[in-house]
Structure 1
């Protein structure tokens, strides 16, 4: 989660530094009063902004400056150096900016600039809907509502969520919060007052049963309805259900919601051994979190290499070794056949005893609303480059959306948190007439103990993996290539290279 506050370091920028100490294109961290400030020089311009990302407090001095933006090395949030605006998720809050003066060959930071409202662009008045309805309270839904208000959209926003909790920071449910290293107060994306203060009508525990495109209504489970002018489908995905005998017992758990995470934490208080079914990102992050609680963890999965389908065999073997060094026991190329009380029968003939189980065997997109409404679907909800579905005025974003991938040349669907947030932001702009294509490069991160893996791009298939550096030494960059073209890259401790590949992909350059 967020890093601890750090003591002031670097020069006192109020007293000034020599201009020569900040060459063109360079960065420097100093302080102004009790604030850490990042200086960036681009030609004759010098920018001064907060030194840490507003997402998880990542050090922007270790990030990448691209044009008049700076990108966080940890989770690829992007900020404007000119205004401090958070341009791309996962950060939503802006950076503070400072005034910089140049005198006698020196630079002085002379005070914090006042925050001004984001300037809105011109767009046709007739394109502005009076009411927008968002179905879904996850990453895409929250990001869309937040973006609408940040862009000064003054119309009605109704957000329908079948969850009982307001939008939460879901990645942390399998990381620090589950491990007991982060308090629950850090989990909500915004406090309760945010929604009322911004006139977002958030309706929790509300299930949408159907969509009527002809009358532009959403029919609710309680028999009521909500009208809309523009609609965003952000229903996300749901865990694949385990269908073996005994899978419906109360100690067989999943992890998707805050309630799921609380249930796991409650059982962890008295548990000694847990079986995790699935060696996916969620499964192994859960394994790492439960090991931090001192619980014995066994992982059962049909894969030969953990996470190998996404990261390849080399990284998969490293991840297995990393978890084994931390006490996780793997049962690979194996599946569970039945659950009888605390006994888990394996198809290979073995038996494991567990106080409880966690099922992480994948997710499926929640497309039922789209299908019954007659929208085009194909292993997800089909959208165009503007994230609009086959029905004019209805958009889709997040885990359910299958969109034209500009970097892969084919329609893709990606189940990543940051992708969902960024799609929610673009869908919000397009619902108010901006006509902006979604062309962000997919990105995700995965944390295992003290090792963070960053991944950019999208490679469902590859014919070559180029490995730079030492995977076992946690200093590496892997490029996933098909027909000589880099489709994706995974890295450990190579944040700048990872960011540079992201920028190059955005510029539609081939990285070799």
Structure 2
């Protein structure tokens, strides 16, 4: 077992953090653990914030990874509603907003990401919102109950998922974005057009190739959007233009920061006592190069990997020690639910990838493959279930595009 004098501190009580501390205890870590998060609730899953929780189909308790008692039962010192304000790497201490210093032998930074905002007149008006935390979702839910008009800036995952939830709640929804089609950077123009048609078919006023120049104001509150193509009046404005890694603590402590906290394939920074995991980690992938991924699956897996790295160093005879520690080697995965469409995506397609579609998108059920140089780099299933593992196995193979497109050939035979 690990020495009881070991003390692991995890800063940022999100999904990666919850799975770090869980995997540590399950792996036999006997040292003390402190979990520090600035939200007043235990770690929770964020995907429901734009979907089931926002729609009222999930209660607050259902989005928690574990209830508060779970942490206490495992001897984890959970500091909810506590902000970490600094790291003294020489003294190996985390300084809290209360002035207290928490010592560590190993530190895991799981500070996540923060929503990007707009740099336009009126951006700080009341009634302009982002969606990252439970409290943000609660504000939107309350607005859903009163109905009205919602203007969304951004046609990425959060913007489209909230648009879907809002339309299903009966709101009038306008989405404004500068790109030609939704999700263009992630999925390319062809699949982007599929999602554009999905939203327009369900009543969303989708205004692409449009830039926001300001926030309209009425009675001291946001009242919509000023754009280069006219005004969009609304009762509520949501800014969903992506997120930036929350690297302030790491940068102030002198750790290497470049689109996230820079870590190796075992999530270690150049300081051997400090790791980073989840949305904030810019990690070296075993085969794909350096990646920073902001998705649910990656946060869970990197939390477990951070724990495996610590266990390999600190728990004699552990499985992690025997294997020398695991590596960041899995394919990125994400999912979305919008209206009657459920989608899963695995892999990583470059900007020049060619898209091959198997099936008829108009039927609502199809599979898409992205290929580069004849090799499959990513795959997506839409309303076709239980094929995720098969698609994951296809990614990386060289498969002729005519075979990928031929629905008469079983996926298992590709």
- The TM-score normalised by the length of structure 1 is 0.72
Identify if the C-alpha distance between structure 1 residues 333 and 349 changes in structure 2 by more than 3 Å, giving closer, same or farther: closer
1:169-248 equivalent positions in 2, closer than 5 A: 169-248=45-124
Q: How does 1:259-298 map to 2 (within 5 A)?
A: 259-298=135-174
Report what 1:417 is aligned to. Answer: 296
Q: 1:474 to 1:257 in 2, by over 3 A?
A: same
Q: Secondary structure at the match of 1:476?
A: strand
Match of residue 477 from structure 1: 367
For the residues of structure 2 that align with 1:406 and 1:478, how far apart are their CA atoms? 25
Specify the SS of the correspondent of 1:371. helix
Which segments of 5 or more consecutive residues in structure 2 lack a partner in the other structure?
313-319, 401-414
Q: Does 1:332 align with 2:208?
A: yes
The 3-state SS of whatever aligns with 1:284 is: helix
2:270 is the counterpart of 1:390: yes
**Whole-Å Cα distance in 2 between the matches of residues 420 and 459 of structure 1?**
20
* CA drift at 1:328: 0.8
2:354 corresponds in structure 1 to: 464
User: How far apart are 1:129 and its partner, in Å?
Assistant: 6.7
Give the CA deviation at 1:425.
Answer: 0.5
Structure 1 residues 473 and 173, CA gap change in structure 2 (3 angstroms): same
The range that moved more, 410-419 or 470-479, is 470-479
Equivalent residues in 2 for 1:318-329 (5 A)?
318-329=194-205
Offset of 1:184 from its aligned partner? 2.5
Deviation of 1:504 (Å)? 5.0
1:357 to 237, 240, 248: 237
| Offset of residue 496 of structure 1 | 4.1
Secondary structure in 1 matching 2:146 = coil
Distance apart, 1:379 and its partner CA: 1.1
Q: CA deviation at 1:348?
A: 2.0
Q: CA deviation at 1:251?
A: 0.7
Report 1:94-113 matches (<5 A): none
Q: Is the 8 A contact 2:10 2:108 kept in 1?
A: yes
* Alpha-carbon displacement from aligned partner over 1:409-442 (angstroms, at most 9, x marks no partner): x211111111011100111111121321121211
Please identify which structure carries the higher helix content: 2
Structure 1 unpaired stretches of 5+: 1-122
Matches within 5 A, 1:426-445: 426-433=305-312, 434=320, 435-445=325-335
What is the RMSD computed on CA atoms of the aligned residues? 1.8
- Residues of 2 paired with 1:192 and 1:232: CA distance? 20
- Among 261, 269, 290, the alignment partner of 1:381 is 261
Aligned mate of 2:341, from 451, 466, 470: 451
Alpha-carbon distance between aligned partners in 1 of 2:10 and 2:351, rounded to the nearest angstrom = 33
Compute the displacement of 1:318 (Å).
Answer: 1.2
Does the Cα contact within 8 Å between 1:271 and 1:355 map onto a contact in 2? Answer: no
Rounded to whole Å, the distance in 1 between the matches of 2:346 and 2:287 is: 11
CA distance 1:349–1:318, change in 2 (3 Å): closer
* Cα offsets for 1:363-403 (capped at 9, x unmatched): 00011111122212221111111111111021111111112
- For the pair shown, which has the larger CA radius of gyration, 1 or 2? 1
The secondary structure found in structure 2 opposite 1:432 is helix
Q: Please tell me whether the aligned partners of residues 315 and 471 of structure 1 are also in contact (alpha carbons under 8 angstroms).
A: no
The whole-number CA distance in structure 1 between the counterparts of 2:9 and 2:225 is 46
The alpha-carbon deviation at position 510 of structure 1 amounts to 5.0
Deviates more, 1:313-322 or 1:182-191: 182-191
Aligned to 1:369: 249
Deviation for aligned residue 1:479: 1.5
Moved over 4 A (4+): 508-512
Contact 1:140/1:424, CA 8 A, preserved across alignment: yes
Are residues 1:253 and 2:129 paired?
yes
Q: Specify whether residues 185 and 463 from structure 1 end up closer, same or farther in structure 2 by C-alpha distance, changes over 3 A only.
A: closer
* 299, 302, 305: which one aligns with 2:181: 305
Q: Which residue does 1:47 correspond to in 2? A: none
Displacement of 1:345: 4.0
Distance of aligned partners of 1:173 and 1:387 in 2 relative to their CA distance in 1, 3 Å threshold: same
Q: Distance in 1 between matches of 2:235 and 2:99?
A: 41
SS in 1 for 2:53: helix
The CA distance in 2 between the partners of 1:263 and 1:344, in whole Å, is 17
Distance 1:510 1:384 in 2: 29
Task: Spell out, residue by residue over 1:104-136, the C-alpha distance to the aligned partner (whole angstroms, 9 max, x if none).
Answer: xxxxxxxxxxxxxxxxxxx9x67x872110001
Provide the rounded CA distance (Å) in 2 between the counterparts of 1:137 and 1:394.
16
Query: Partners in 2 of 1:428 and 1:171 — Cα distance?
Result: 23
Tell me the distance in 1 between the aligned counterparts of 2:329 and 2:214: 44
